[in-house]
Amino acid sequence: MRIGIFGGTFNPIHLGHLRAAEEVREALELEKVLFVPSYLPPHKELALGVPAEVRLEIVRLSIRSNPFFELSSFEVEQGGNSYSVRTIEYVRQRFETVPWFILGQDAFNEIITWYQSSRLFDLAHFAVMSRPGAERPELADVLVEEAARFRPAPDGYVSSEGNRIVFVDVTPLDISSSKIRDLCHQGRSVTYLIPKEVEEYIERERIYE
């Protein structure tokens, strides 16, 4: 099965996430994209005032109409620090396949700082989505010594073990969760930036006031 893992805080999920994930799904012919909201440690939750359960609900509402999209509460159920390595291992076991890990260029550019980052590239293929404001540096500048394992391929890079890094140019939508939260805090409209169902939910539940 060709499966993608799309992780994030999704605080809240917005049309930048959803459209980019849909374009990656189509480009890579994925049969399923698992949306995996990260757990936030309690102190961070308090600071943001948005519990994991709420972010799960927001994602659930926004992907409901897409038969290829599925919610996973794996990281929330695990609690503590959410490590992508663990999530990838879980998906590999559950679906008996090498999954595609989907992330934006801004996140990819910092991947070397992630927990057990060198193992990540053995466990999954990577689909890196373009994102407004994020540059696409040379692989060696992002992966440092890990880059030596990869050689150029038509759509990105492939490692000696066959793991791929593919760059997908998605429709540039300059939307971020921080921007949504700011607009809400200011009492301004977020219409056409997030799905209607999410807008109604966060308004009704007064999530970002």
Given the rule CB under 6 A, which residues bind ligand ATP?
8-11, 16-17, 20, 103-104, 106-107, 129, 131, 173, 175-178
186 DSSP 8-state letter:
T
Give the CB-nearest residue to ligand ATP.
104
Q: From the CB of 12, what's the least distance to ligand ATP, in Å?
A: 9
Q: From the CB of 144, what's the least distance to ligand ATP, in Å?
A: 20
Side-chain-facing half-sphere of 164: CA atoms under 13 Å: 14
Residue closer to ligand ATP, measured from CB, 151 or 192? 192
Residue closer to ligand ATP, measured from CB, 62 or 176? 176
Backbone angle region of 96, left / alpha / beta, with phi > 0 → left and psi within -120 to 50 → alpha: left
DSSP letters for 52-104: HHHHHHHHHHHHTT-TTEEE--HHHHH-SS--HHHHHHHHHHHHTS-PEEEEE
Q: From the CB of 22, what's the least distance to ligand ATP, in Å?
A: 11
CA distance 56 to 73: 7
Residue closer to ligand ATP, measured from CB, 93 or 178? 178
Residue closer to ligand ATP, measured from CB, 93 or 126? 126
